[in-house]
Structure 1
């Protein structure tokens, strides 16, 4: 089974030096871990396949103070640098012990002579690790042994969620590209509501989306046309944006039947090709009644439940999370914002309250094992104080978000 994988072994040579041996072109897969290190060694470059481009890749190994070994693979071009893979592997407290053989899963072969799909089983190391794949040209999937999480909701009901097999090195993300120049080194992912996000995302993974059925406006029609012309397999694919509200103002405005037809025609087939699929994101948050009928009408289920949170208290945030946890899937909060939605949609304007909200929600989402990823929303209609960027610089709100996620990433 491992014959098609790159030859990769990590050996603890001394208390401060590690060696990595790798051969052939590689296609990288990122692994989700906290960052901490004390010693480092940078190895010669090797080719990394990133979306069909062979870029020089640098392997960097760090010996952490707790005795574990961290491997990073970064692919670089003249204009950008992409964190292609990152993982931590435990070692014995005694020197000279071989790092767990599961490190082989960090890089997979991308042989031009054999462009067939490869599936490799991976035995999870002592520290929790989950794999994600980047390449559009060859579909590679990795399975990770993970325990299910049973949670009790505010209403007293319980739900069991098995963590997704595709997570990022950082849960934190942004919806919109304005703040990327300041935040990208702390983000695991981002999106801009388009099929192929455009921007210098650094280490953050761009995430694809089919926003709507092409019927809401000209932008929606252009997005559908771009999806129909898609020439690669996205690692992650988000479903339609707020089909449960009327078209316009950021909502796709579709019936349950039309949303299911869109899913079955365009989104569902990508699951067999290797994409992880996100449910449509609901406008009505915990009050939605859309997804049960949608779920019954689709031929391929979603992998994670996409969540929008527009609340101004953590009680409201928890209620939203508890509602969506009942669908039994990992939760991906693609938008959160400080909004009073008790009677209408009123964005928060007090900077002190916004700062408190940002710190509290980041702490809550980081601690909640049901949540695989989350994003600060730079979407429409959120006023002038909430956006992360103002007058070409990171705003006070953006600075607060950066500080909040920097505690974790």
Structure 2
């Protein structure tokens, strides 16, 4: 059997249902000292997997829950972590500790879990909360709380561990935009992950996968991964088409892959990146790389917005407005527009700014400009990867 046949078999072998254990080659913090952000740059080896991907695709990681949270759960329920529990309908078994660590979702509450838990405890307040009349109150309660909160708020409960875990759902993988091109880094995949930490309801909370990657994943460790294709976020087929990329914060991830790919293929089309963060000194992700690509000509224009470096906050959409005439010229010349990052605020603001630019520069109504942008979306000239 030749190498290409082996690669093809491996490619088909490693899927969401059968992830590849990728070795961590590098794990560094991209933010400088004094930043209130922590962004990890991970380099993983795909050697021997036969896995391939395209710029714009995502990597799925099956994470592990925080060991401290697992210990707190075991303690709150007075369970023995070494006892065996059946984890699925195939009858597979794990120790309770391993099941809560690697298999079950414990950081998110669902209506079903709270309702089922209410049947296990004698608590009038919880009964009232899950009643039909209290849908809004239940939704408000679940927001930002986890399984430990539920037990502490409405326990104690003497239910057997097996009965309890049967209420839980399997932990879903976390998806991250790939920040490397396979052409530039054969047998590797890179990620750009922001560590999520916050305080809610009197407890410190951590993003399951992001803080695992930040605090507990060392070089030499392995992570179970698979490729999630993203057919709706792809570079133009033609290398001579211009691209406009708008990606503040970790939204830079797929655009690092785009720029690497265009550099490797010697694309003749121009490229323009809008990047934003809080402070240029500590939060300018991949600064040296981007400036080198600009110097080498692989990146035509680099426009940055650092919101906390000026008295008045400046964001990528403000920089787009400042360069609206040139942006409009690029769009009229056939440029493809890509947006990656925060769905709630940034992507909406960028979308509205594009409509304003098309309206003002093209001397058309806002309604006509919106229609024009919708047409660009239909023809894949305007693509978004937002979360």
Give the TM bin, normalised by the shorter chain: under 0.3
Structure number having the greater helix percentage: 2
- Higher strand content, 1 or 2: 1
Higher relative contact order (CA 8 A, sep 6+): 2
TM-score, with structure 2 as normaliser: 0.27
